[in-house]
Chains A and B, each alone.
Chain A
């Protein structure tokens, strides 16, 4: 009986998943859970929602394994499916409401540097606190590197609206991260 653990290669896990081995599926899930969770985390408001989205993405991954071509990066292929699943969910939910959950800052100075002491999970937490429509544009533009024209096509908005949303998101996020910086621009 085949045994799957951390030493198993991606190809072995993939073959096991193709054979329908639940242990291979679990091993693959466990291996890429932490890396792929960041994709839905920056597009949802809660971790539970992000986990549910990731599970949907893995379901799609297991179904699409026969279509994987070895010349592609396996991790990149997984990330692409996860990202598309997240985008499909966003479009389905249509969470582009103008809902402000964070108050506007009182003219805080913009910090340009993020020290390494600032935890990434803290950044994720603050990103999730953004309004849905601002968070989506911020993640697409700043983290995933989409252009405003592409974002406009993806979300069904105008490019100028995308720029405005990014500006608003950046303003709110910088304000919410301001307490983590001291006077010299270093995190607390």
Chain B
């Protein structure tokens, strides 16, 4: 380090190290906030002791209150759903003497979501052929609601794609044997295989003859 710079540096250092800044009260305000956030900034705090117990007490009270609410909620029986919002449509009895209406599917009975008058005029049944459930592909059993199709089926019922009666009782096709199937190449390629075999036998025969012949010296 050169002498001129050395003396200049020393002067700068001396002035910087010896300087004392003025106290800033605002700095202490910021420091207090830091101390409050850090919990006093020391192992024990006269302000923190009461504050700590106060905070802990509040937390304990909150936990106890929450526990009491949960216990109260669990003890209460489940409330029954109110049925006043909607009612089923009243059952309509057919008038005496008249032919009974065509059987309709129970799910077609409209469930009225609003109150219906006591007397409902039932339109006269149209003359239609009775529809049997069994002949309709993918028909549903009357007792089973449509939504059940989306649920896993029981193993007893199977997949109701086709009715059992529609399936043929006998199969015309021969089932495949369980053993490994061997191809009969002579039957697959009747022209090629016999000729190949003949040629192969000829080659093998010549080779065997040559091997058996004593080597000429």
Interface set of A (CB-CB < 8 Å, partner B): 17-22, 25-26, 29-30, 33-35, 37-38, 41-42, 51-52, 54-56, 58-59, 62-63, 65-66, 110-114, 118, 120-121, 123-124, 127, 142-143, 145, 170, 173-174
Contact = CB atoms under 8 A, between A and B. Distances in A.
Q: Which 7 A-B pairs have the closest CB atoms?
A: A20-B45, A120-B19, A62-B41, A34-B20, A114-B11, A20-B44, A112-B4
A105 to B, nearest CB: 15
A65 B43 CA distance: 9
A110 B4 CA distance: 9
A59 B38 CA distance: 8
Tell me if A's interface is mostly helix, strand, loop or mixed: helix
Nearest to A20: B45
Interface of B: 4-5, 7-9, 11-13, 15-24, 27-28, 30-32, 34-35, 38, 40-49
Given A20-B43, A51-B24, A143-B13, A112 B7 contact: yes
A62 B12 contact: no
B45 to A, nearest CB: 3
Nearest to B25: A30
A120 B11 contact: no
A33 B41 contact: no
A38 B19 contact: yes
Contacts of A66: 43
Contacts of B31: 29, 55, 58-59
Contacts, number: 115
Contact of B16 (A20, A26, A34, A42): A42
Given A21-B46, A33-B23, A33-B27, A170 B5 contact: yes
Nearest to B44: A20
B19 A124 contact: yes
B87 to A, nearest CB: 71
B50 to A, nearest CB: 11
Contacts of B4: 110, 112
A113 B3 CA distance: 11
A124 B7 CA distance: 18
A109 to B, nearest CB: 11
Contacts of B42: 17-20, 25, 62-63, 65
A59 B35 contact: yes
A174 B38 CA distance: 43
Contacts of A58: 31
Contact of B21 (A25, A38, A55, A127): A38
Nearest to A18: B42
A142 B11 contact: no
A12 B194 CA distance: 118
A62 B30 CA distance: 15
A50 to B, nearest CB: 9
B46 A114 contact: no
A123 B32 CA distance: 30
B43 A18 contact: yes
A123 B48 CA distance: 42
Contacts of A22: 32, 35, 40, 45-47
Contacts of A118: 15
Nearest to B3: A112
Contacts of B32: 22, 26
B12 A142 contact: yes
